[in-house]
Chain A
Amino acid sequence: MIDTMVEMLSYPFMVRAFTVGALVALCSALLGVSLVLKRYSMIGDGLSHVGFGALAVATALNAAPLAVAIPVVIVAAVLLLRISGNSRIKGDAAIALISTSSLAVGVMVISVTTGMNTDVYNYMFGSILAMSEEDVRLSVILSAVVLVLFVFFYQKIFAITFDETFAQATGVKAGLYNTLIAVLTAVTIVLGMRMMGALLISSLIIFPALTSMRVCRTFKGVIISSAVVSVVCLIAGIMVSYLCSTPAGASVVMANITALAVYSVIGILRNRGLRRS
């Protein structure tokens, strides 16, 4: 066991995968709690597809992938948030529209330029080899920013998640914080998607929050538990990916599914216990 760990960590690409993965998992878990509770989970999914399109275009143009993808996805995040907040347009339909469109654009661009090859496969399902030094630096900066902002604005994030109207009435600028959450989510998704895959990255946002909600009964509890579950599942997933040569994204999702199952059982057992006592 220890031998395998040492062997794994002797490869620089594995160290990078663990670092970026754990930090992205941490950020997405924190942001995910608010997104899931506000019924904005689909935005995460939509953004990953936009990210796929942006990465494809960037590759075709020979531009730096992150430099193109991050601004595009941020714009999409703000846009999607507006659409969801506007009750006159059907938010879920609009998100589906935008995500399939981006996917189509991405696939078209790739097939016209380089052709459908392993790159596309890696974008879709993620690759453990995808992380560069640059990504490590960016993800460290990003997660530091997310953590600091999250702790600093924790009470306000709780207030707007629980009751946006009340928060606004007591002078909290809800629109500003919603946009902040959307922008941070966008950056997190772009950073994580090459490892997790465009189709699977939104699981990092949704699973930890839902898992923790099975058992935890306070907001703080859900936040802390999500962060822990997310990072543990990511590390477990990458180890499985390394040992069994499975795609990284899918392995991490499998770990998350296991965690959700375990937490659900604990939740059910505890509810029974409570009812009996």
Chain B
Amino acid sequence: MALIKCEDVSIGYEGQTVVRDLNFHIDSGDYLCIVGENGSGKSTLVKSLLGLKGVESGRILFGDGLKQNEIGYLPQQTDVQKDFPASVYEVVLSGRLNSRGLKPFYSRADKEQAYEKMDLLGIRDLAKQCFRDLSGGQRQRVLLARALCATKKLLLLDEPVTGLDPIVTTEFYELIRRINRESGIAVVMVSHDIESAVKDATHILHLQEKVLFFGTAEDYQKSRVGKTFLGGGQDD
């Protein structure tokens, strides 16, 4: 059983279908990159995977013990956060919320988890720092730590390197690759950066209102759609 399996899924806004007939699946340990142009339905699909948006038809199935609210989501940063008075520790700890249910306070285990994830991402020494004083790359690490607190099985990253400089971007990809390989956490990343996507990912999902391609990264590079999108068409 896959972690997530989409069967004939169509999603839309107010009767207007944005993406249709999606069929793909994510297995444990996969690194899936969702690519496609702006408006191709990537963000819409993300919302549906998280349960923030219902599907028009089809089914999204969760398996392997993954629950929908246990996806480690790394959203795009919002304006509110640029001026938000919160310590790194508070932000990371809030990732444990889905394990709390109605219980109002965090347990010692939750706090240990938060420190463990901060150690893993090398941001332990920032714990008391204010989120708004951090650099873009540090913020992404903090939000990644929060996402890791929320999941044991699947990370969902929505264009995580937007606005990061090239060096920080490379480091961030390295980090994701490490988490994917060493912790066995499956990664789903929405990305514009198709070249890095193909290098790191095991699978590619190319959207253009429907699935243009779904398969391994290797096959994608050989496929016609992949060649066109990668700009490699000229060597034919």
- Known contacts: A169-B69, A216-B85, A218-B86. The answer to whether A153 contacts B104 by CB under 8 A is yes
- Known contacts: A166-B73, A169-B69, A170-B73. The answer to whether A155 contacts B85 by CB under 8 A is no
Q: Is the CB of B52 within 8 A of A168?
A: yes
Q: Is the CB of B94 within 8 A of A159?
A: yes
Residues of B within 8 A of A218 (CB): 85-87, 90, 130
Chain A 119-155, CB-CB to B under 8 Å as 1, else 0, gives 0000000000000000000000000000000011111
Residues facing A in B10-60 (CB within 8 A) are: 50-52
Residues of A within 8 A of B97 (CB): 155-156, 159, 167, 170-172
Bound complex: CA A159 to CA B106 (Å): 13
Q: How far is the CB of A260 from chain B (nearest CB, A)?
A: 15
Contact of A162 (CB < 8 Å), options: B52, B91, B98, B130: B91
Contact of A166 (CB < 8 Å), options: B105, B130, B133, B146: B146
Q: CB of B75 within 8 A of chain A?
A: yes
Q: CB of B190 within 8 A of chain A?
A: no
Q: CB of B178 within 8 A of chain A?
A: no
Residues of A within 8 A of B106 (CB): 155
A and B contact pairs by CB, cutoff 8 A, 7 listed: A162-B86, A163-B80, A170-B150, A171-B69, A172-B97, A218-B87, A218-B90
Q: Is the CB of A217 within 8 A of B98?
A: no
Q: CB of B71 within 8 A of chain A?
A: yes
Residues facing B in A36-59 (CB within 8 A) are: 37-39
Q: Is the CB of B81 within 8 A of A169?
A: no
Q: How far is the CB of B72 from chain A (nearest CB, A)?
A: 9
Q: CB of A115 within 8 A of chain B?
A: no
Q: How far is the CB of A77 from chain B (nearest CB, A)?
A: 20
- Known contacts: A159-B97, A170-B69, A171-B69. The answer to whether A152 contacts B85 by CB under 8 A is no
Q: How far is the CB of B140 from chain A (nearest CB, A)?
A: 13
Contact of B94 (CB < 8 Å), options: A153, A155, A168, A213: A155
Q: How far is the CB of B153 from chain A (nearest CB, A)?
A: 14
Q: CB of B234 within 8 A of chain A?
A: no
Chain B 126-156, CB-CB to A under 8 Å as 1, else 0, gives 0001100100000000000010001000000
List 4 A-B pairs, minimum CB-CB distance, nearest first: A171-B69, A170-B98, A217-B130, A169-B50
Q: Which residue of B lies closest to A172 (CB)?
A: B97
Q: Which residue of B lies closest to A155 (CB)?
A: B97
